Amino acid sequence: MEISLRARVRAGDPDAFGQLFDEHASVVHRHAVRMTGDWGTADDIVSLTFLEAWRLRERVLPGDDSLRPWLLGIATNVTRNTARAARRHQAAVVRIPPPDPVPDFADEVTRRMADTEELAAAQRALRKLRRGEREAFTLCVWEGLDAATAATALGVAVGTVRSRLSRARKRLRKLTDLELGQSQKQEQEQEQKHKQEQARETQRPAPVGQSPGSRRQAARSTPKSTQEKTR
């Protein structure tokens, strides 16, 4: 009789964890990107999620169901802790002099995503939701879990997930549209400002006697004898 993946994971089989990673790492990474909006942070969350899964392996219940909800629940908790750590880090950073600016390559990668603007707007809108609403939305809508499975992953009642999801759906579409509208308005204002600056540069008169080539042209048109007298 073949031993289930759950039983092998619970027993601490390294090969089982390798299989678990191969099957679900991309799902966990996608969930982390959607929760944080940052690919670099998502990479860290994937690593921490599977380390935590190894630590909690004995809590896996017997059965043949997919371990995906269990991993997404762990990833959600890891994301919470990562966000709290980031806030503490930011609070510490503001108390010291700022370092020289360094390019953020993770942000550059994120900007290459096909839905960058929508993801950024959704991230800003999600941050305006309560944490429970945000987690219910990402698990049920973006990850496709049903309410009961999401409830198990989050460790709450099914009714709690359903009510949170209902509130999140009502608020998120409106908030996202507002965020997209504000972003587009800012881009238009910046473009208009840039055009105005270019127009002012074009219309600005050159100082008298200082136009490009004026001195050179005057020197060429002045007789050599006059130039020598001037010297």
Please write the tens of the pLDDT for every residue from 164-176.
Answer: 888 888 887 777 6
Residue 18 scores a pLDDT above 70: yes
Residues contacting 218, CB < 8 A, separation 6+: none
Per-chain mean pLDDT for the chain: 74
pLDDT of residue 89: 47
Helix (H) or strand (E) holding 76: helix 68-93
Q: State the angle between helix axes of 68-93 and 14-36 in degrees (0 to 180), rounded to the nearest 10.
A: 50
Residue 111 scores a pLDDT above 50: no
Mean pLDDT of 90-116: 48
**If 0-12 CB within 10 Å is exposed, 13-18 middle and 19+ buried, where does residue 28 land?**
buried
Strongest mean pLDDT among 49-58, 88-97, 140-149, 196-205: 49-58
Q: Residue 156 and residue 80: Cα distance in Å, rounded?
A: 16
pLDDT of residue 208: 53
Q: Residue 31 and residue 37: Cα distance in Å, rounded?
A: 10
39 CA to centre of own chain: 7
Residues contacting 28, CB < 8 A, separation 6+: 45, 46, 49, 50, 71, 72, 75
Residue 210 scores a pLDDT above 60: no
Residue 144 scores a pLDDT above 70: yes
Tokens of 130: 């309560």
pLDDT band (50, 70, 90) for residue 52? very high
- Give the residue with greater pLDDT, 212 vs 73: 73
pLDDT of residue 85: 61
pLDDT band (50, 70, 90) for residue 116? low
Residue 72 scores a pLDDT above 90: yes
pLDDT of residue 69: 92
- Please, what's the largest Cα pairwise distance for the chain? 112
* DSSP structure class, residue 37: S
